[in-house]
A = this chain, B = another copy of it.
Amino acid sequence: VPDGERFHETRIPVRFHEVDSYGVVWHGHYASWLEAGRNDLAAAFGAGIVDMQPHGYLLPVVSMEIRYKRPALLGDVVVVATRLRAPRGAWLTFDYRVARGSDGTLLATARTRQVVLNRDRDLLVTLPSVLRDAVARIRAFHRGA
């Protein structure tokens, strides 16, 4: 669903052990690719997991949806294109397109949703300021600002 927004791209070489006995990357491994794309985007804007640790916030994934279009193969470098949607409350929703790096073939699309917990594992209903600021910078990037 292209809507003109700019996605952040992360290149990931397929590893041998990710390929299953069908000769294609096992579908479950995409979860780690999405996470790599998401964390790479966040880190580029100062809100990576390591940046968040001193603040004590946890961002557990509460849903994940993946639609597989074409298989990833041994030798592929995949490109995970990631976009953070405009936040609603304290929910963070990311969209993804996973493509083969060599020819741009779309391999999968995905969406994940996270909530924010504080140090006591209470669910927050609004984003804390450190995250709100990072989200604003990331959203500006997506809009091409």
Q: Footprint of B on A, CB under 8 Å?
A: 13, 15-17, 19-24, 26-29, 31-32, 35-36, 39, 48-50, 53, 58, 60-68, 71, 74-75
- Taking a contact as CB atoms closer than 8 A, the residue among B15, B31, B60 that contacts A71 in the complex is B60
A35 to B24, Cβ gap below 8 A? no
B49 to A74, Cβ gap below 8 A? yes
If A19-B20, A26-B17, A32-B17 touch, whether A64 touches B65 (CB-CB below 8 Å) is: yes
What 11 new A-B contacts, CB under 8 Å, besides A20-B20, A22-B58, A28-B29?
A: A15-B32, A15-B36, A17-B26, A17-B32, A19-B21, A21-B74, A27-B31, A27-B64, A50-B75, A63-B65, A64-B66
Task: Give the distance to chain B from A57, nearest Cβ to Cβ, in Å.
Answer: 11
Task: Give the distance to chain B from A87, nearest Cβ to Cβ, in Å.
Answer: 19
- Taking a contact as CB atoms closer than 8 A, the residue among B21, B50, B62 that contacts A68 in the complex is B62
A20 to B16, Cβ gap below 8 A? yes
Report the separation of the CA atoms of residues A10 and B32 in the bound assembly, to the nearest whole angstrom. 20
B-side contacts of A27, CB under 8 Å: 31, 60-61, 64
